Amino acid sequence: MERILHDISYLKQIMDISSETLILISGEGVCLDICSHTDLWFLQEEFILGKNILSLLPAHTYHKLIADFQDVLINKKTTTNSFRLPLHDYTYYGECKLMPFEGNVLCRYTDITNRENVKLKLTQAYEEMQEIQNVAKIGKWSLDTETNMIDYSGFCGDESEVKDMPISVDYYMQHFIIPEDREKMQIWLERILKHPYKQRISYRISVKQKIYYMSVKCIYRDKDKQQKHSSKIEGIVQDVTEMHKRRNDISMLTHVIFNANESICGVYADGTLKFANQIF
Per residue in 259-270, pLDDT (tens digit) is 666 776 677 777
pLDDT, position 29: 92
The C-alpha angle 136, 137, 143, rounded to 5 degrees, equals 130
pLDDT, position 260: 62
147-184 pLDDT, tens digit per residue, is 888 887 755 445 544 455 688 889 888 888 999 999 99
40-94 pLDDT, tens digit per residue, is 898 899 999 999 999 989 888 999 899 999 999 999 999 999 999 998 889 999 9
* From 37-41, 147-151, 195-199, the region with the lowest mean pLDDT: 195-199
pLDDT, position 245: 73
Res 24 pLDDT > 90 = yes
pLDDT, position 161: 47
Question: What's this model's pTM, rounded to 2 decimal places?
Answer: 0.56
Q: Which residue has the higher pLDDT, 157 or 193?
A: 193
pLDDT, position 157: 45
204-254 pLDDT, tens digit per residue, is 888 888 888 888 888 776 655 554 555 788 888 888 887 767 766 566 656
SS3 letters for the chain?
A: CCCHHHCHHHHHHHHHHHCCEEEEECCCCEEEEEECCCCCHHHCHHHHCCCEHHHHCCHHHHHHHHHHHHHHHHHCCCEEEEEEEEECCEEEEEEEEEEEECCEEEEEEEECHHHHHHHHHHHHHHHHHHHHHHHHCEEEEEEECCCCEEEEECCCCHHHCCCCCCEEHHHHHHHCECHHHHHHHHHHHHHHHHCCCCCEEEEEEEECCEEEEEEEEEEEEEEECCCCEEEEEEEEEEECHHHHHHHHHHHHHHHHHHCCCCCCEEECCCCCEEEECCCC
Closest CA to 34 of 88, 89, 105: 105
Q: Are 149 and 166 in contact (CB under 8 A)?
A: yes
pLDDT, position 249: 57
Confidence class of residue 202 from pLDDT cuts 50, 70 and 90? confident
Summarize the confidence of residues 184-194 as an average pLDDT. Answer: 88
pLDDT, position 70: 92
118-149 pLDDT, tens digit per residue, is 988 888 887 777 777 677 777 888 888 888 88
